[in-house]
Amino acid sequence: MTYATSLLDALYLNHSLFKLTIFKNYLDMSGSIILKIARGERDMKALQEIEKLGNKIRALRRSRKFRLRDLANRAGCTTAYISQIEKGSVSPSISVLKGIANALGVRLVDLFLVEGEDLDDVVVRSGEGYEIKYPEGRSSIDLLVKNLDGKTMEPLLKKLPPGEGSDGLYSHEGSQEFGYVLEGAFDLMVEDQVFGLKKGDAFYFNSNRPHGFINHGDVTAEILWVISPPTY
């Protein structure tokens, strides 16, 4: 593979534990981070999450009897890139993951949820919802219900650190989206329009319109984001 830019190429020697760790991060031609070998406990956890995501995508693809080429064509990616995702060697952007989810006929959150969880979620206490951390970057969303089965709304708390975003536009059919900015500020893109939103602002649009988001500020933005019916 040809790498566009070397972000980090370093060697760390821990004499006390006699550990030698080599870590490299590269930027591939699609703009996603290629993770080679983890550095430390936090990076190892990130690699484990990326590996779990790849395994989930592979299982869904095989259950639908899709070849790598079939999924790539449907998701608008190259076959090699889908293979890298499934092997856990690349961390895809939100827009890429949404394209893959659409191609597999699932919601984006379904790529992260664990099946068989408690369905009784009349009340979801603090810390009981799902926190989904995207493999690329530091963005995350909290799914504010324990399970989406039978639900007509998908309530999310989106946390968007400075510089983070969707890395492109995406869309999904059959839903509408509402949001309210709880903290910070961010830019919402809908088709060719860009809306600067800050704390106290709200938005509403149809999900089939290409949309995306990015935080150009210097503090983390928190947005209550509701999609109805659930398609994200």
pLDDT in tens, 17-56: 323 222 233 333 333 433 333 344 446 666 777 888 889 8
The answer to whether position 149 is within a domain reads yes
Tell me the pTM. 0.59
What was the pLDDT predicted at 116? Answer: 52
Nearest to 173 by CA among 124, 126, 229: 229
Q: Are residues 68 and 136 in the same domain?
A: no
What is the identity of the amino acid at 159?
A: K
What are the DSSP calls for 28-91, one per residue?
-TTSPEEE-S--HHHHHHHHHHHHHHHHHHHHHHHHTT--HHHHHHHHT--HHHHHHHHHT-EE
Phi and psi at residue 126, in whole multiples of 5°?
-55, 125
| 37-41, 156-160, 169-173, 188-192: segment of lowest average pLDDT | 37-41
The answer to whether position 106 is within a domain reads no
What was the pLDDT predicted at 93? Answer: 78
The CATH number given to whatever domain includes residue 202 is 2.60.120.10
- Which residue matches tokens 């406990």? 41
Number of domains the chain contains: 2
The answer to whether position 113 is within a domain reads no
| Other C-beta atoms lying within 10 Å of the C-beta of residue 142 | 18
Rounded to an integer, what distance in angstroms lies between the CA atom of residue 143 and that of residue 155? Answer: 6
Rounded to an integer, what distance in angstroms lies between the CA atom of residue 90 and that of residue 208? Answer: 28
Kindly report, residue by residue over 102-155, the tens digit of the pLDDT: 899 888 778 876 555 555 567 878 876 677 776 556 778 888 887 777 789 999
The answer to whether position 109 is within a domain reads no
Rounded to an integer, what distance in angstroms lies between the CA atom of residue 117 and that of residue 6? Answer: 41
The CATH number given to whatever domain includes residue 76 is 1.10.260
Q: Are residues 12 and 86 in the same domain?
A: yes
Kindly report, residue by residue over 85-113, the tens digit of the pLDDT: 999 888 787 778 888 988 998 887 788 76
β-bridge mates for residue 21, sequence order: 12
Q: Are residues 71 and 133 in the same domain?
A: no
Last residue of a domain, one of 49, 77, 92: 92
Domain that holds residue 172: 120-228
